[in-house]
Amino acid sequence: MCQQCDVKDKLPDNAASKRDFLKTMSGAGLGLAGLSMSRAFAADEKPLPKPENVLTPDAALERLLAGNQRYVSGNSQPFDFMQDRAALVGGQNPYAAIVSCADARVVPELCFDEKRGDLFVARVAGNYISPDILASLEYGALVLKTPLIMVLGHQSCGAVIAAISAVEKHQQYPGHIQTVTTAIAPAVRAARKEQGDKTDNVIRQNVKLNVERLEHAAPIIGKLVAEKKLRIVGGVYNLATGRVDMLA
């Protein structure tokens, strides 16, 4: 007999009892599911592949910015693929997650002078938080215990420039490109009254709005932020200098 038929045959006769019975079965099912997820997400007993990546949110940000300073000054560390290869076969524990634009000129691992296994990078044109990007960041924060997320914008962002044209000139784009400009449109509207370069203003607003969204993202990211286990920050990458400027 199938499990569903078996449950049906055990239902009490009266309606109220049936409802109570179903609630009990549902609760039991959720409990089992929760237990299964806990086991699936539980950290392995084996040593972490990169113990030095276990940091507080503030220490993670300090390390990230120190790496950018090395990159800007031309003192990046030599890359050694062999050094971490064996350790990373069995897992990962990155110390920071980066939401970066897909722009080929912006490479987080390079601009923060980090190696394989150090950064958990999610990239999309316009560095905005889509459901898929959010799910990836939730995995990084909940499962990999990453203590820091940076939303990283950059100068001369083509996605932002397209979004400005879409909002102000009603420009239409082919395929699914319009979904990108629609996602960035709130930043275009938020920057309308700001003085200075329009594109730069929208780039900064786009970062700020997505940082704010992450800080309140239910059910995982916002909770970890409230518990001070996770910090969300924003920055803008300067194409000319390589410097990442933090946004307040």
Query: What's the pLDDT tens digit per position in 122-142?
Result: 999 999 999 999 999 999 999
Q: What is the pLDDT of residues 49-78, one digit of tens each?
A: 999 999 999 999 999 999 999 999 999 999
pTM over 0.85: no
**48 and 91 in contact (C-beta within 8 Å)?**
yes
And the tokens for 132?
A: 């898929």
